[in-house]
Amino acid sequence: MRPEASGPAARPSPEGRSIRSRHLTHFGVLEATSTGESLRDVTGWAGDPDPRLIINNVASSQHHPTRVRRPAVRQGWLEGGPGGGGRGSEPFVEVSWGEALDLVSAELRRVYTAYGSSAVYGDSYGWSSAGRFHHGQSQLHRFLNCLGGYVSAVGDYSYGTSGALLPHVLGSSPAHVMEGATTWEVICANTELFLSFGGLSEKNSAVGPGGIARHGNRSEVGRARAAGCHFVDITPIQDDTFAEAGVEWIAPRPGSDAALMLGLAYTVDAEGAADRQFLDEYTVGYDRFIAYVRGESDGVPKSPEWAAAITEVPASTITDLARRMARSRTMINVSWSMQRQHHGEQPIWLGVTLAAMLGQIGLPGGGFQHGYGSSADVGLARRVVSPPRLPQGRNRESSYIPVARIADMLLNPGSVIPFNGTEVTFPRIDLVYWVGGNPFHHHQDLAKLHRAFQTPSTVVVHEQFWTSTARHADIVLPATMTIERNDFGAGRNDPYFFPMPALTAPVGEARDDYAIFSALEERLGLDQSFTEGRSADQWLDHLYTDWRAHLAELGHDVPDFAQFMKSEYIKIPVKDRHQVLHAEFRSDPVESPLATPSGRIEISSDVIESFGYDDCPGHPVWLEPYEWLGQRDKRYPLHLISNQPKTRLHSQLDVGETSQRSKISGREPARMSPADADARGLSTGDVVVIRNERGACLAGLVVSEALRAGVVQLSTGAWYDPDPNDPSFCRHGNPNVLTADLPSSALSQGTTAQHALVEVERWEGPLPPISVDKPPRFTERRPARSAHGSEPGGTPADRVIRDRTD
């Protein structure tokens, strides 16, 4: 079989003539006119049925004043040598590439020699790069592995909580569950009731890890509805879905979904609608769970009336929904957002359990999924093989942390935390190396993270823009954007595989991460263990050629590398357009068991029970969140939902035109219901302060009927812009000055950044200036002096270079 190949791809002319070009991004494939220096007339790809506006952030941000144009070093570090303090507030000194690379290589040599790999934290959390070779995480990890390894992070912020849970329950990671998701084609033909906890987000469906070629979810949802599928969204935000779904909206108190699901389970059981044959053959632990639901184990029946008191959803609504679930071919979808909260394991586990009670797991159009509407790729058929990527090598360092515990690690070296049945000891980190990503976007309690970032001796960052993370670094190296380098890419599960030739020259002195690490390899004498003697373009040819040979072994022919790079795209074959999650397991649970201890779905888990965690026992339960409206905290009577933005991906390209157009008086927009706004004398367009005991931020108000009363929605991703004298106050609207750095549970140690209690008031004073839309302060290098006058030896940083390289 020969995968489909397109015609020739457009390229920028070497003579600089304007010519139409294409490029894969997280947000879709853009088409633009390239002058060689910039892109103009950006549109979505003609092959995309539903291109999204956020693609305009790419070209509009390329030459923004916040681009990092030259290597820069924090003044205090340059003059005083390695050491914390002053990060995020001191000016930078621009230096030559030669000096910057000498400083970085000297620091790497110092730390690895003195302390070993356990003192180096290497991270890259920029979501999966659209290019598969110039992938920040792969580049960084491969390089640090050549030095002996690094302290790694396990899990992720997107679905780290379910990442710990689902292997115990289904024997699979969330990524594997999503890769095998029942396709939209099957849903359109079979699903009668599509029940989404956390919504079926249109905005999240605009993006995909590694990119997305065709945005097909809107049309698929419309097709399913036209075929008779009824969509029900359970979320505090009514419009967090496709209008084409025509959803029925149920809005429980935020954080109470587990109670609602238990009420549904109670009704299914009480009315004899549970499929006992399926439960007996394909699951373990149901009897222990249902004894809890009935109240036999704790004296509290989890009836619809019990659930109604917690959720504020009428008991009749719960009963009616349970009956419809039982008589319909029902898909139970639980969004990623549901597990980014305190006790976030419970709604995920209960989603699986409800689907098992209905007996529809493995049936066309029924069962469970974790991610429809959370990413554009969920619902696409699995490919025969993934696209090629740069191998990272082996990490010889055994120390690691759960990804959301970075602040705790930096502030509390030597402390021990429980994690997924083990104990993790925080290492003492002397050097942080970050390539791609912005922890000052995705982490909670940013004032705490600001303090934590003062503790290492050195922080090195490769960045395209002066993000908050770059401003908290010691050495900042300017990196290229994807449109400024050659690569290839395909999104997760996306069959469209694109060549990605550079469309423009790099801005300023920006270099590829690969070029930076290649230069460091030479300075550190690594004997080409990182580069293997290849240039970046030679790596692309090598990786593609090996991948092509592997495909040929599988019976699939693709063009050679030169032909591929001249084409528009090729299509990787898929295994089964009609795939159904867990169909093989349902067909024969003996021959196709799950990778759980029992080989079956674990409604109760003896393994989790053995851990003895009070905040995540051995079967799904209702546990009251740390912060929620049920507390009736009079100081903070509103529940903040910090969901994903419509106008960008996370914090990426917040300076782009689509993101900037959404701002109100330069601040991130926040939404609240008319009742809550009227009670506070607020109107659309007001600048408000959102506050709690951890911090405060400014935002521009939008009053909306789409919000449940008592809820405020402020999207994540506004670049953190702290008051110079108060890191807990963000002038721009980053909600993570308000969220608690609290793990979901001891099982996952996952982030809880989706929820917090707050109060909202009108901002009455003069508006403080925004600074993150401009470069940081720069200064000239001051001559080094000793107590006796001029010091010919140079600055401490100069001496580090000399001492370590002589």
* Residues designated as active site: 125, 127
Would you call 614 helix, strand, or coil by DSSP?
coil
Residue 701 token pair: 């108000």
| Separation of alpha carbons 699 and 640, rounded Å | 13
Which residue is associated with the tokens 């349902």? 586
- 28-34 sheet: strands from edge to edge: 19-25, 28-34, 39-44
Residue 237: which of 212, 204, 266, 272 has the closest Cα?
204
Which amino acid is it at 598? S
Distance CA 240, CA 711 (A): 14
- At 640, list the tokens: 């903040």
C-alpha to C-alpha distance for 633 and 620, rounded to whole angstroms: 27
| Other CB atoms within 10 A of residue 158 CB | 26
Q: What is the DSSP letter of 10?
A: P
Q: How many C-beta neighbours within 10 Å does residue 623 have?
A: 17
Rounded-to-integer distance, Cα 39 and Cα 26, Å: 17
Contact 452, 411 (CB under 8 A): yes
Q: Contact 493/477 with Cβ under 8 angstroms?
A: no
Starting at the earlier edge strand, list the strands of the sheet with 431-437: 92-94, 72-74, 475-478, 458-463, 431-437, 120-125
Neighbours of 552 (CB within 10 A): 11
Cα 327 from Cα 447, distance rounded (Å):
50
With 0-12 / 13-18 / 19 or more C-beta atoms within 10 angstroms meaning exposed / middle / buried, residue 215 is buried
Q: How far apart (Å, rounded) are the C-alpha atoms in residues 161 and 169?
A: 13
Q: What's at 18, amino acid-wise?
A: S
Q: Which amino acid is at 554?
A: L
> What number of CA atoms fall less than 13 Å from residue 550's CA on the CB side?
12
Q: Residue 17 CB: number of other CB atoms within 10 A?
A: 11
Residue 767 neighbours by CB distance under 10 Å: 12
- 247 three-state secondary structure: coil
Tokens representing residue 196 in the block: 């989404």
Strands (E), 633-777: 638-641, 669-672, 687-691, 696-703, 711-714, 722-723, 726-730, 755-762
User: Cα angle vertex 251, ends 246, 256, to 5°?
Assistant: 140
Question: Which H helix or E strand runs over 618?
Answer: none
